[in-house]
Structure 1
Amino acid sequence: MKFDGVLFFPVTPFTAKNEVDAGLLREHIASRLPFAPGGVFPACGTGEYHALGIDEVRTVVRAAVETVGGAVPVVSGAGGPLGHALASARAADDAGADGLLVLPPYLVSGPVEGTVAYVEAVAAATSLPVIVYHRGTARFTPAAMARLAANPKVIGFKDGLGDVGLAQEIVTAVKAAGREDFQFFNGLLTAELTQGAYRGLGIPLYSSAAFAMAPEIASAYYQAYASGDEGRRNALLEHFYAPLVRLRDQTPGFGVSLIKAGLRLGGMPVGSVRPPLVDPDPAQLRELETILAAGRELAGELAALG
């Protein structure tokens, strides 16, 4: 399984009764496929995996798989309490997912040997390949990642920690272990802001929450990034991504909340976020609307230039 393009992390829409809206999820995903994402990652961070039950994970992943129709890989989240992670992995497998993103364990922090064992347990739960997420309570050393890379079912590493020195050591260790096929992802919040640096580490792929909200802007950034057009890439960083990050940093959890709010502003009634996340207040919504308008205007200008 290989990825090429923006990695799309869809939101999970909820109805007025706070139930998963599978029909709207299909519409959400289908509306982004023309922008050529390199993979679809339902029931992950942007999709509020932390707030989904097992049956809801199955519903979300099945809707994604049916909508994508094999055009690109579909990778589901699996994490939290070990029993929940294993059940999520099996539910995603039953729903037809192509792989798993192993999210951090819940609450407790064990030694790195225990974290490796956690990943191995999730990997053993199904026949699906897995991507390791380096974040929160799941922190890996170069030696630990070299050990995991010895397992052919472990196919990737996603860095959500932001320690670039450690990330570089992990890339080097995995390649030294002989895994030239291994895939590396930048998984920091609003990853576009840091992707220029991550590319230099040998981490060319990145997750894009913004793609779920504004695919025309995220695609304009990716095209500039992939073609090496630093002028256009930096213009998008200055006028869209940097202001978005400043707004995001006002409130914990806004990495997800703003994306759902942006979709609502665009006319897609995806509902609110579930606790413990909160929605933006009216002033923050107005600021988000201004940021989105500026980003879309710039993306349109860049498209007109060819």
Structure 2
Amino acid sequence: MTRFAGVYVAIVTPFTEEMEVDYGCLREHADWLIENGVHGLIPMGTVGEYATLDDAEREKVVETIIEAVAGRVPVVVGTGSPSTKKAVHWAEHAKKAGASGIMALPPINYNPTRHEIIEFYQTLSNVGLPIIAYNNPFDTKVDLKPDLLAELCKIENFVAIKEFSGDIRRIHEIYEKTDLEVLAGADDLALEGLLAGATGWIAGFTNSYPKESVDLFALATSGKVAEATELYRRLLPLFRYDSTPRLVQSIKYSLKLVGKPVGKARAPRLDLTEEEKSNIEQVSKLI
């Protein structure tokens, strides 16, 4: 069953010059993305800087987006947290607020055993929302490999995987061993992931180029490979920043370049260097 088909945006959290959450800008940004055809929004992912928000801010960001969306597209909420208890809290809050699902990193603050990973997702499943597991072995100590996913997919609400390992071969193996829905997780492997059978794409730079991203998805999934490849190659020099540690700053700077400023990233992320900004400006001109 396909639940999360299409382009889902890992939406940024805008900040004012005083580095407070800009909820008005957040509403406007959500509207703009939907107007440009995106299929869903995901607050509180890596791009949303969830780890820098206090609990009250995090709750209000989720509630603001769900209110602004008003049912037009699904909202899937990130639950990344240092403890199972806290992850469950964010899943329960998402359910209460009206989210369509959750995107759940595995335990993030140490190297858990296989049994602990399974128990973690089982506990989240008990909340009762569909789960998109987020496989990001670069930022966590866990790699959700196909053999492990074959066990996890037995959990009732464990329905999809955001695959960010960088190994495109895994998509085929996941489909061989599980009944999970696979979502492309890296912008610079989006086309490859879609052509390998991913039914959706959880995207970062779609924040600044929503129409182009939606067009890419439509071309790729309708068999227009040559046209998709031509568009993808224009986007790819920018998309490559999605797989770097500076992705949040790069996406926010890209938004400034397209006339949709959302402020800077919160510390510990520091502003881009002048050289980095110049490089992003140059590759943006290719689009």
TM-score (norm 2): 0.89
- Please name the residue that 2:215 is paired with: 220
Q: Aligned pair in 2 of structure 1 residues 37, 247: CA closer, same or farther (>3 Å)?
A: closer
8 Å CA contact retained: 1:12, 1:270: yes
Deviation at 1:261, TM superposition (A): 0.8
Q: Is the 8 A contact 1:158 1:185 kept in 2?
A: yes
Alignment partner, residue 238 of structure 2: 244
1:81 equivalent to 2:82? Answer yes
Deviation at 1:109, TM superposition (A): 0.9
Q: What stretches of structure 2 of length at least 5 have no aligned partner?
A: none
Helix, strand or coil for the counterpart of 2:156?
A: coil
How far apart, in 2, do the equivalents of 1:53 and 1:167 lie? 35
Question: Structure 1 residues 69, 285: CA separation in 2 closer, same or farther (over 3 Å shift)?
Answer: same
Match for 1:229: what amino acid? K
- One-letter amino acid of the counterpart of residue 185, structure 1: L
Distance 1:199 1:32, change over 3 A: closer
Q: Given the two structures, how large is their TM-score scaled by the length of structure 1?
A: 0.84
User: In the alignment, which of 194, 203, 207 is matched to residue 198 of structure 2?
Assistant: 203
Tell me which residue corresponds to 2:184: 186
Q: Distance in 2 between matches of 1:147 and 1:280?
A: 41
Check whether the contact 1:112–1:141 (CA below 8 A) recurs between aligned residues: no
1:64 and 1:195 map into 2 onto residues whose CA distance is 25
Amino acid at match of 1:98: S
Matched with 1:41 is 42
For residue 100 of structure 2, the aligned residue among 98, 103, 116 is 98
Contact 2:166 2:189 in 1 (8 A): no
In structure 2, the partner of 1:179 is: none
Q: List per-residue Cα deviations over 1:107-152 (Å, max 9, x = no partner).
A: 311122211222222222x222211112222322434323322222
The whole-number CA distance in structure 2 between the counterparts of 1:257 and 1:109 is: 28
* Contact 1:14–1:272 (8 Å) recurs in 2: yes
- Secondary structure in structure 1 of the residue aligned to 2:11: coil
157-166 or 59-68: which moved more?
157-166
* Contact residue 216 and residue 231 of structure 2 kept, 8 A: yes
- Does residue 279 of structure 1 match 2:271? yes
Query: CA-to-partner distance for each residue in 1:57-81, whole Å, 9 max, x for gaps?
Result: 2111111111111122100000231
- State the shift of 1:246 in Å: 5.2
Distance in 2, Cα, partners of 1:289 & 1:143: 42
1:101 and 1:111 mapped to 2: Cα distance?
Answer: 21
Paired AA for residue 90 in structure 2: S
Where does 1:165-184 land on structure 2 (aligned, <5 Å)? 165-175=169-179, 182-184=180-182
Distance 1:234 1:167, change over 3 A: closer
Aligned residue number for residue 152 of structure 1? 156
State the 1:25 CA deviation. 0.3
Alignment gaps of 5+ in structure 1: 176-181, 296-306
Distance 1:157 1:246 in 2: 21
Going from structure 1 to structure 2, the CA distance change for 1:197 and 1:31 (only over 3 Å counts) comes to closer
Question: Does the CA contact (< 8 Å) of 1:129 and 1:154 recur in 2?
Answer: yes
> How many residue pairs are counted as aligned between the two chains?
282
Given candidates 108, 116, 131, the residue that maps to 2:110 is 108
Q: Secondary structure at the match of 2:202?
A: strand
Q: Is structure 2 residue 12 aligned with structure 1 residue 3? A: no
Q: Is the 8 A contact 1:78 1:102 kept in 2?
A: yes
- For 2:270 and 2:231, the matched residues in 1 are separated by 27
Residue of structure 1 in register with 2:57 after alignment: 56
Structure 2 vs 1, CA of residues 246 and 166 (structure 1 numbering), >3 Å: closer, same or farther? closer
Task: Report how far residue 28 of structure 1 moved.
Answer: 0.4
Q: Write the letter of the residue equivalent to 1:26.
A: R
Aligned with 2:258 (options 253, 266, 274): 266
Cα separation, 2, equivalents of 1:201 and 1:225: 10
Identical columns (%) = 28
CA contact (8 A) 1:134 1:161 kept: yes
Do 1:26 and 1:63's aligned partners in 2 also have CA atoms closer than 8 Å?
yes
Query: Which of structure 1's runs of 4+ aligned residues deviate more than 4 A?
Result: 245-249
Give the match for residue 73 of structure 2.
Answer: 72
